[in-house]
Amino acid sequence: MHTALSCRTLLWREFLSITRNPADVAGRCLIFCWLAIFVGLIYYNLPNTVDSLRSRLNVLFVEPVILLLLPYVYMSLYTADKQYYIADSSAKLYHPSAYYIAKQMAVMPFAILNVLLFSFTLYGLAGLRHNGAAVGMNGLMSVLIYLIAAQVGLGGG
Are residues 107 and 28 in contact, defined by beta-carbon separation less than 8 angstroms? no
pTM of the model: 0.79
Alpha helix segments (H runs only) across 43-131: 53-69, 75-80, 82-90, 96-126
Are residues 12 and 95 in contact, defined by beta-carbon separation less than 8 angstroms? no
Are residues 39 and 87 in contact, defined by beta-carbon separation less than 8 angstroms? no
Backbone angles phi, psi at 94, to 5 degrees: -160, 165
Q: Binning pLDDT at 50, 70 and 90, where does residue 2 land?
A: low
What letter would DSSP give residue 73? G
Q: Quote the CA–CA distance of 112 and 94 in Å, as a whole number.
A: 27
List, for residues 135-145, the tens digit of each pLDDT value. 999 899 999 98
From the list 88, 108, 90, 109, the residue with the least C-alpha distance to 99 is 88
What letter would DSSP give residue 55? H
User: pLDDT > 90: what percent of the chain?
Assistant: 14
Average pLDDT, the chain: 82
Find the Cα–Cα–Cα–Cα dihedral 153, 128, 130, 133, rounded to 10°: -40
List, for residues 116-130, the tens digit of each pLDDT value. 999 999 888 888 888
pLDDT higher at 28 or 1 = 28
